[in-house]
Structure 1
């Protein structure tokens, strides 16, 4: 059978599904992507509201991600760089800290900032050096502990943990107590040290949009939710049946395969609010961290501090909340705006949009960096992809998509399922 004749379906047009399609195309196959929503991206999406680009949650790309460097055209994305540091709001004052070796303008504020002890700052340099030398494979072979325990064992003071590490990494891990695996901490910290946090000029959805634009022989079926996946068949929500030689499930497979019901992925949630303000209290492209245990808000960022293709008339501020709460909508908004005013001296003019993201990151243990193509195979005709197989990152989504596609290619080229199908499809 010709390669182009195989019916290979990918469920989910997120990052892993798009990468899987690209790899299959590279080997001469013509896959179909089935997507429940009306666009690509999955959890990596943006909206245009009132002239502003609003990402679904505060998201950045770490430029040193190995898989991202392989599959993305950075120049075409017009990446806007964040400075390697943060502005910390504590006791109604702000303190800016950063890596002066990478940006000299951060030298004086970092030395004079009353955040952490002198010993803490020496330990940060020591940690930088340690993780710069450490191979990614070694990070994911190291015994796991919580990030909090890792920082304590490294000798950091409680002050620097509470004032910097907790608010910074809570915004990345989307949990407030740093219970996330130390493997993820070391990996993310290394990625920050090896590169920069960046944001495409057209918002985070420019990433999946670019991946889609590279696909020349892939068919897309949007607004097509799937109900169930069987060996050689996909059952849609509208009860339509699609024949499928091989299916890659690039989303939570437990919802689609009956015998995986007890293996449903658990998720971390967050909320992101976008506000208009008249002025910026952080002029440079730096993330703002809230070092106050009683604050509801975790981190802030002025998207208008970097170039954007869509610009409204005011400054655009995003606010991220990772703490759980039981506030009703009105009290929640009031608490957020109160925190901004009291802790950051920020007056918001208008709320632009609120995103309640129930499935922001997979909640995982025993984090891995790599997965073999054979490990993505659930059955001879069903393969799995998605960052939930490895670790919650865009890099993991890309790797898993690539490995699932290679598993499909190996299965087809080895003739492992042809005998089952030729009688039906010849």
Structure 2
């Protein structure tokens, strides 16, 4: 019998397994897929590195800095800013402190006026000084918070709304204002980017550490049912085998969490990513691009030339372009003709010759974060049973890793004084 079974080899499960293995526990990880990572997966398709949906990694996340060797990831960093398709031409807004020479250009863009700038500062400033618990007091939707701050001009409608639509995977402004402010803090402090080998390099590093600490990670092992038997829990696998342990951490996807524990299915938002390749890029800019026009917006919420930031994502002589759309539950997904039409309008070039490599429909791309934002949920669910994942914290890589850490602390605490909590800082 093992000390612990972790169901799910996503970020939360791998972080938890690594910490507890380092703490001296006998840990086995059961992963239904053929590779670790959960939503953080990268596939090699005809020489292109395709993440499962467009993703970014923010080195400002505290839990990320605690968990992985960032230098080993060889991150390529996106410019901190956004490119906006206007009714006439393109405009760019960049981080004014990192790109001070861009301030004059931003002011001439027509996207920023004095009133909006003051309103944005009024809205965003608390995020730089206050903890999340303080930001979440009297929390409202981000739409209501912007109205209250007086943020109503083109900076909101043409920049913030389309940009955050892709980040939050929802377009109605119903996300928690506290969570939106938290994301702004991380964008201000960090330079989001991607590992040279794809987003999968993060879980692969976590898995390598867990294995080095003694964890057994079993791929293709799908958990079917759990049964409590005295002081142990038996997990039956779909293939007929079973594994027993003193404790179990469920760190799986939304459907599996419900099936295994009976918890209500976590609400999620969906995204769709289209991966195109072209010989000539539509722009020399590496900025994420959104559509700021008042008419004809959609279905693309953002698009970017990946190879300007991570050249290793494509073979020599080719470029990789990502285009992301919302994937509302119960609604029809975007069609290729509409995506190509919109991309042609955004980029201002003919995209008919672009080759479509793959389309990723990620129905559970992010847990929904409606207002008011609740506190991070306890990992303890039942006797000897724990739950981890970003749906228990915040919808982010930070939230997934932090949730895995909390689950590990809870397991060590419950396992007794012989399991020193000091091991969590290794």
* C-alpha spacing 1:256/1:320, structure 2 compared with 1 (3 Å): closer
Matching residue within 315, 322, 330 for 1:318: 322
Whole-Å separation in 1 of the counterparts to 2:270 and 2:400: 18
Contact 1:203 1:308 in 2 (8 A): no
TM-score by length of 2: 0.89
Match of 1:289 in 2: 290
Whole-Å separation in 1 of the counterparts to 2:238 and 2:332: 33
Q: How many residues align?
A: 407
Q: Give yes or no for the alignment of 1:138 onto 2:144.
A: no
Match of 2:373 in 1: 367
Deviation, 1:262, is 6.1
Q: Give yes or no for the alignment of 1:97 onto 2:93.
A: yes
Whole-Å separation in 1 of the counterparts to 2:100 and 2:128: 20
Deviation, 1:177, is 1.5
Matching residue within 7, 19, 24 for 2:20: 24
Contact 2:8 2:251 in 1 (8 A): yes
- Please give the per-residue CA displacement for 1:113-144, whole angstroms capped at 9, x wherever unaligned: 1214232134334545442222333223x222
Matching residue within 36, 41, 44 for 1:48: 44
Deviation, 1:224, is 1.2
Match of 1:421 in 2: none
Deviation, 1:282, is 3.6
Whole-Å separation in 1 of the counterparts to 2:86 and 2:331: 24
Give secondary structure in 2 for the equivalent of 1:29: coil
Contact 1:100 1:106 in 2 (8 A): yes
Deviation, 1:252, is 4.2
Structure 2 gaps of 5+ residues are 420-426
Whole-Å separation in 2 of the counterparts to 1:230 and 1:271: 37
Whole-Å separation in 2 of the counterparts to 1:358 and 1:280: 29
Match of 1:247 in 2: 248
- Please give the per-residue CA displacement for 1:8-29, whole angstroms capped at 9, x wherever unaligned: 1100000000100111022111
Deviation, 1:166, is 1.1
Deviation, 1:163, is 0.4
Contact 1:230 1:257 in 2 (8 A): no
- Please give the per-residue CA displacement for 1:171-227, whole angstroms capped at 9, x wherever unaligned: 110011221111111100111111221211111111111111212101011011111
Q: Give yes or no for the alignment of 1:384 onto 2:387.
A: yes
* C-alpha spacing 1:245/1:409, structure 2 compared with 1 (3 Å): same
Q: Give yes or no for the alignment of 1:221 onto 2:227.
A: no
Deviation, 1:323, is 5.5
Give secondary structure in 1 for the equivalent of 2:54: coil
Match of 2:143 in 1: 148
Contact 1:115 1:160 in 2 (8 A): yes
- Please give the per-residue CA displacement for 1:76-130, whole angstroms capped at 9, x wherever unaligned: 1111111111000122521101122112342232121121423213433454544
Match of 1:412 in 2: 415
| Residues 173-192 of structure 1: pairs in structure 2 closer than 5 A | 173-192=168-187
Whole-Å separation in 1 of the counterparts to 2:253 and 2:347: 39
Whole-Å separation in 1 of the counterparts to 2:56 and 2:198: 9
* C-alpha spacing 1:32/1:150, structure 2 compared with 1 (3 Å): same
Match of 1:276 in 2: 277
Task: Name whichever of 302-311 and 146-155 sits farther off.
Answer: 302-311
Deviation, 1:379, is 1.7
- Please give the per-residue CA displacement for 1:296-337, whole angstroms capped at 9, x wherever unaligned: 1100011111134342232210000016499978x8100000
Whole-Å separation in 2 of the counterparts to 1:131 and 1:266: 25
Whole-Å separation in 2 of the counterparts to 1:133 and 1:256: 35
TM-score by length of 1: 0.89
Whole-Å separation in 1 of the counterparts to 2:268 and 2:416: 36
Deviation, 1:415, is 8.8
Structure 1 gaps of 5+ residues are 417-426
* C-alpha spacing 1:189/1:258, structure 2 compared with 1 (3 Å): closer
Contact 2:50 2:313 in 1 (8 A): no
Give secondary structure in 1 for the equivalent of 2:405: helix
Whole-Å separation in 2 of the counterparts to 1:145 and 1:257: 28
Whole-Å separation in 1 of the counterparts to 2:263 and 2:408: 26
Match of 1:306 in 2: 309
Over aligned residue pairs, what C-alpha RMSD do you find?
2.4
